[in-house]
Amino acid sequence: MKIFILLMLLVSQSLFASEVEELFKQKKYQQVASLFDNPNTFNPLSSQDMILVSYSLRAMGRYRDNTKLIAVMIKKLYAKEHAQIFDKIQNKVTLDADDYPKPLILLYWNIYNDYALIIKSYKKADAQLEKDKANFQSFRNILSELEFREGRVEKTNDQVTSHLQYLSDIEYKFTASFQLQYMSWQYSAIMSRKSTGVNTDLIITNQGLCLGGDVGYESGFYHYALEGCFLIGSGGVTAYGTPEVTYKQNLAAYGVKLGPSAYKIVSSSKSRIGISLPILFTTQKMTQPSDPDYVVDQDTAVNFVPTLNARWQFDKWYLKTEFGQYFGKKETLWALGVGRQF
C-alpha cells in the first residue's frame, strides 16, 4: 500500500478525484480492472488511473494482464529512461538509482513481483514459462543493478528458483543407462543316495559379471525403470560327509536378470533407494556322480529375486548396490556395479 500511495503522489497530475478513483476507493476492483479489457475504455486513461487499474488487476489476481499494463506504462511514460537503463546494463555500465524516476523503479518492482507470482502459479513447465522466466530474470537484473530492495528481490528470486526446480523435478524424462555389475548368487541342488534315501544339500556359490542397463522414466523424485543384464560367471560346489562320494565341481554359469524397478530419489545429487523385482534365469548344468547310486537333483533355473537397491550418482556415472533373496527360498543375490547414464 505504501508503494501505491507513493506512486499515486508521484504520478498524480490532478487534484481532483476521477471516476476511476471513486470506484477504486469503493473497492470495486473488478470494475476498475475491466477498463483494461477494452481499448475504448483503456486508451483515454490518465497515468494516475492506470495505476489504479494496475492495482485492481493485482487485486483480481490478473498478474499477466498487469505485466502488460505496466509494460505499456513504462513505454508510454518512461521509454527514454528504460532504454537508457537497458543499454547501460547491456554495456555493463554501473547504474545509479538516483538518476532515474522513482515511479519507474516502483513499476519495475511491481512487474518483477507479478512475474514471480505468475511463475509460482505454474503447475507444469511449458513454452510460455520460458518467456516468463526470461522476463522475470530481466527485471531482477534491473532491480539488482539499481540496488533496489536487494534482500527482498533475492528472497523472491529464491522462491521462484525453488518453484522452477519443483517444476523441473515433477517432469518425467526418459532415461537410459548401461551398467556392469559384479554379482554373487547362489544355486542349490540335492544329492540323493538311492539305496539309503539320504539327501545332501548342495550349494553353488557363484560370482560373475552382469552387463546390461536400464531404460525408464525419471523425475526429480522418482525413477521407474526396466533393468536387465546378461550374466556370465562360475561357481564351485562341493559335498563332503558322504564317505563314498566327494562331489566337487566348478561350473560355468550364464544367465539373464530382468525386471522392473522403482526408486525414490533422496538427494540433490540424485542418490536413490528402491526395490527391484527381477527374474533370474541361469543355466548351470551339474553332472551326475559317477556312482549310479547317487543322483543330483537341480533346483529350477528360473527364480524370482526381489532386491533392495541403492544408487549413488556422480553426475552421469553411478555406483549401485543390490541385495536380495530368492522368493520362497534361502539363497541370496548381491551385486555391486557401476553405470553410466546416456
Q: CB 58 → other proteins: shortest distance, Å?
A: 31
Interaction residues for other proteins, span 30-69 (CB under 8 A): none
Q: Who's near 6: CB < 8 A, 6+ residues apart?
A: 102, 103, 106
Q: Toward other proteins, which CB reaches closer, 137 or 184?
A: 184
Total residues interacting with other proteins, rule: CB under 8 A: 39
Grid cell 545429487 in the structure block, residue? 269
H helices present in the chain, as ranges: 2-11, 19-25, 29-34, 39-42, 47-59, 63-90, 102-120, 127-145, 150-170
Please provide the DSSP assignment of 263-285 as one string.
EEE-STT--EEEEE--EEEEE--
Q: Minimum distance between the CB of residue 167 and other proteins, rounded to whole angstroms? A: 19
Given candidates 238, 283, 288, 300, which one binds other proteins under the rule CB under 8 A?
A: 238
φ/ψ (deg, to 5) at 168: -70, -40
Contact with other proteins (CB under 8 A): which of 110, 261, 276, 313? Answer: 313
Give the binding range for other proteins (CB under 8 A) out of 69-77, 117-125, 156-164, 235-243. 235-243
Q: How far apart, in whole angstroms, are the C-alpha atoms of residue 162 and residue 331?
A: 46
Indicate the DSSP class of residue 93: P
CA–CA gap between residue 42 and residue 53 (Å, rounded): 9
User: From the list 159, 319, 338, 340, which residue makes contact with other proteins (rule: CB under 8 A)?
Assistant: 319
DSSP code, position 37: G
Residue 223 makes contact with other proteins by CB under 8 A: no
Angle at 287 between CA 210 and CA 195, to 5 degrees: 135
Cβ nearer to other proteins, comparing 77 with 308: 308
Residue 336 lies near other proteins (rule: CB under 8 A): yes
The one among 334, 338, 340, 341 contacting other proteins by CB under 8 A:
334
Q: What's the closest the beta carbon of residue 117 comes to other proteins, in angstroms? A: 25
CB of residue 324 to other proteins, shortest distance in Å: 7
Residue closer to other proteins by CB (options 228, 306) is: 306
Task: Write the CA distances from 254 to 5, 46, 230, 280, 325, integer angstroms.
Answer: 79, 83, 8, 11, 19
Instruction: Compose the 195-214 pattern: x for residues touching other proteins by CB under 8 A, - for all others.
Output: ------xxxxx-x-------
Q: Which residue, 77 or 203, has its beta carbon nearer to other proteins?
A: 203
Q: How far apart are CA 114 and CA 298, in angstroms?
A: 71
Question: What x-and-dash track marks residues 259-278 binding other proteins by CB under 8 A?
Answer: -----x-xxxx-xxx-x---
> Helices 2-11 & 47-59, crossing angle to 10 degrees?
160
Verify binding: residue 312, other proteins, rule CB under 8 A.
Answer: yes
Please say which residue, 114 or 299, places its beta carbon nearer to other proteins.
299
C-alpha 234: how far from chain center: 40
Question: Whole-angstrom Cα distance, residue 212 to residue 339?
Answer: 9
Task: Give the interface with other proteins as residue ranges (CB under 8 A).
Answer: 184, 186, 201-205, 207, 235-238, 240, 250, 264, 266-269, 271-273, 275, 306, 308, 310, 312-313, 319, 321, 323-325, 327-328, 330, 332, 334, 336
